[in-house]
A and B are shown apart, each in its own frame.
Chain A
């Protein structure tokens, strides 16, 4: 049984129908990416899974339990953590408060020290306002703070967007280390090269649907098809 099973998921922004029956599975312990052009519905899919998109229907089963009718709070409490595309760092909270904000929902989260070992930059900036950090540091803070909660299922929305190559590498190492620790991760990515270095499988989205799945091992063989999907 997959850890997360999404079936015929539909979602709306107000009156605008943006997801038209998204179906995909995330096996436990895998890193899975959602690829696709802008506006294909990748970020919306993550927001629908965590429950920030309130108008949604279909089925999202997490650990076998249906979550489509639950609030974002209840979904977070069941062990799913979300890192938004804009990073969601709070300007009225300092770095330490940002880091300690998400409540612990399960045992087995990383300690603050372990998070600092992963992202040493954060340790020196504890008392700075969260949004005074550089873009890369903010991304580390955004990922770091959800590792404390004990959630073992992470939704990361474009964690490498707009970052310098050296930071992208650091994020890549972090994702691999998290996978080694048993985390399951759904990653929305525009950076196809980056996605291919960390993921086990890729789902391709178009017009609010998942239209294809490519295991990372078959990537070379599917290169032509993927570049057609992604328009690169």
Chain B
């Protein structure tokens, strides 16, 4: 086998894989944030907490009701989505005529409340979530070992992200969504129910976070702060990709995961900060983000 700058390929590929997995989560979370920001103009700081709720949802379904991983993949995002619908209808709805900052403060507060509640009931230490039997084991690809659980996360994230992109960019429902994002007043004046679209979009965006949470449950441990740790990086990803860009957030999410993984190989000390350095550079060169439209 070849050696790259003295780095054994096994190390390189396993870090690449870890990067891709992180990227899969960045992509799902930043996609939800982008869709929500596009239509609602709200930076959803509660996103990390809702991701955590998705993971806890899976854990509760298993431990309280005996419902396993596969059903949890469907049910937990559904519950998080419904919770999002309630948030939108009862709280966010009142803020649309106000400055962006109010939405940020409200969702930030919500994140603190949700995280606090879960910490109160479940403590700060993580709880394990066992892998379903189908995802244990893995394949030897010759140059590296690919665990099934990891392959499943990457594949599901890709499928979910690309389906979301397809629905938004290629279907009639998606054209309603794009129109409402661009000019809500006129879209409403054509007889389209923009307020329902807004509710469904928020529900869908946070359901994506919930889905990511379920995927994360068996890989990382389930704990109340898992969302707040991740969301800071995800916000950097969104800023780099450009607020509100659908394809941009998917591509940026995966690429930055890979960049982060490669940095771990070549300059491990920088791996925690590389995304923020990229963010600073992108902000200087292209303030609207790589895929953003400057307005």
Q: Are B186 and A88 in contact (CB under 8 A)?
A: yes
Interface contact A52-B178, CB-CB below 8 Å: no
Docked CA distance A100–B185 (Å): 18
Complex: A71 Cα to B185 Cα, angstroms: 11
Q: Which of B175, B183, B189, B191 contacts A100 (CB 8 A)?
A: B175
Q: How far is the CB of A121 from chain B (nearest CB, A)?
A: 21
Question: Number of residue pairs across A and B with beta carbons under 8 Å?
Answer: 62
Q: Provide the residues of chain A in CB contact with B191, threshold 8 Å.
A: 73, 76-77, 102-103, 105, 149
Inter-chain contact A92/B190, CB cutoff 8 Å: no
Given the complex of chains A and B, what is the CA–CA distance between A100 and B178 in angstroms? Answer: 13
B235 to chain A, nearest CB (A): 24
Q: Assess the A101–B189 pair: CB atoms within 8 A.
A: no
Closest Cβ–Cβ distance, residue B38 to chain A (whole Å):
10
Count how many chain B residues have C-beta atoms less than 8 Å from C-beta atoms of the other chain.
Answer: 18
A52 CA to B186 CA, complexed, in Å:
8
Chain A: CB-nearest residue to B186:
A88
| CB contact between A76 and one of B178, B179, B190 (< 8 Å): that residue | B190
Asked, given contacts A71-B188, A72-B188, whether A101 binds B176 with beta carbons under 8 Å apart, the answer is yes
Tell me, in angstroms, the Cα distance from A22 to B192 when the chains sit together: 28
Q: How far is the CB of A125 from chain B (nearest CB, A)?
A: 17
Given contacts A72-B185, A92-B181, are A100 and B190 in contact (CB under 8 A)? no
CB of A129 to closest CB in B, whole Å: 11
When distances are taken between beta carbons in the complex, the residues of chain B under 8 Å from A93 are 175, 178-179, 182
Tell me the complex Cα distance, A230–B179, Å.
36
8 A Cβ contacts from A26-51 to B: 50-51
Across-interface contacts of A82 in B (CB, < 8 A): 186, 189-190
Contact with A along B182-211 (1 / 0, CB 8 A): 110111111111100000000000000000
Q: Is A169 an interface residue (CB 8 A)?
A: no
- Once bound together, how far apart are the Cα atoms of A93 and B171, in whole Å? 11
Bound CA span A74–B259, Å:
50
From 93 to 109 in chain A, residues with beta carbon under 8 angstroms from any chain B beta carbon are 93, 97, 100-103, 105
Known: A76-B190, A103-B191. A90 touches B185 (CB 8 A): no
The yes or no answer to A197 lying at the interface (CB within 8 A) is no
Other CB < 8 Å A-B pairs besides A75-B189, A100-B172, 18 of them?
A52-B188, A71-B188, A73-B188, A73-B189, A76-B190, A76-B191, A82-B189, A88-B183, A93-B178, A93-B182, A100-B175, A101-B175, A101-B187, A101-B190, A101-B192, A102-B192, A103-B192, A146-B190
